[in-house]
A = this chain, B = another copy of it.
Amino acid sequence: MTIETGHAAHSCGAVQRKGRASRRAPQPAGPAELRKILLFSNVDESTLSRLSADAKIESFHDGDQLFRQGSPVTDLPFVVSGYVKLLRIAPSGRQTLIAIRSGGEMIGEAPTGPDEIHTVSAEAVGATKVLKLPATRFIRLLKESPSLCAAVMRESKDSIGRLMGEVESLKSQNADQRLARFILLLCPPGEDRCRFRLPYDKRLIAARLGVKQETLSRAFAKLRAHGVRTETRNVHVESVSHLADQCDRLGQRARSAFGRRNAEKRHDAA
């Protein structure tokens, strides 16, 4: 686990990076934009249009901070394009990646009352567009729209499920297995042999998997033996099904000579 940020060594305050000019020129957004957000896919039309009244779309550059852990929640942001890192920052200053949000996903938590506080920091990965809804309006509509309420509850459960999966994989899988599972997630469904591009650089992937960059690199090397080729950001999987099969075996002890199969039945944490 634990990877350095590479560039933004400080990343405190909404620092503008790379000296580019055009940062943060809020654009208005309408119901059409909102409808593209997963959370709203089942929300009724009228709520949606009321929600979109003060919606704004903002652009960020790589490393820009969207909000900081401990600061008050003033609005509810969603990723329109690009990626956003969610980080926990310990008192020591140590930053730990908690999750990465991509297009259509909510960043942070839906506020349900006034005076809430961010429990994580959020930072743009590459050029990113974000749609922001003012928290106050959102909170008001939450009280009036059951369909919005239901959507938020569904989203929360999703989020809980994903985090539990994260805990499970950190507790029970090694780096090779986590990488294999990560790759399987990226494979377009349907084809057994496939080719795609990694969504972000390997430093970030390493942090996402909770390993050092060097360890990730070695894990990729190990997967070559199982039909996974990489050229920088491009990945080629010879057989998705075969990789999925191997996934378990990657956890097997490297077996010093004669192996005493304690086949299956490994009780992990219980």
Contacts and interface: CB of A to CB of B under 8 A. Distances in A.
Interface of A: 1-5, 9, 11, 85, 87-88, 90, 92-98, 109-110, 112-113, 119-120, 123, 143, 146, 149-150, 152-154, 156-157, 159-161, 163-168, 170-172, 206-208, 210, 248, 264-270
A160 B167 CA distance: 12
A160 B163 contact: yes
Contacts of A90: 168, 172
Given A163-B160, A168-B98, A269 B207 contact: yes
A120 B252 CA distance: 24
Closest 5 CB pairs of A and B: A207-B269, A156-B156, A97-B269, A163-B163, A1-B171
Contact of A170 (B9, B120, B170): B170
A59 to B, nearest CB: 21
B269 A210 contact: yes
Given A168-B88, A171-B1, A172-B2, A94 B268 contact: yes
A138 to B, nearest CB: 12
Given A149-B149, A156-B156, A156-B157, A268 B1 contact: yes
A110 B156 CA distance: 11
Q: Output the residue of A11, A88, A113 with the most chain B CB within 10 A.
A: A88
A164 B120 contact: yes
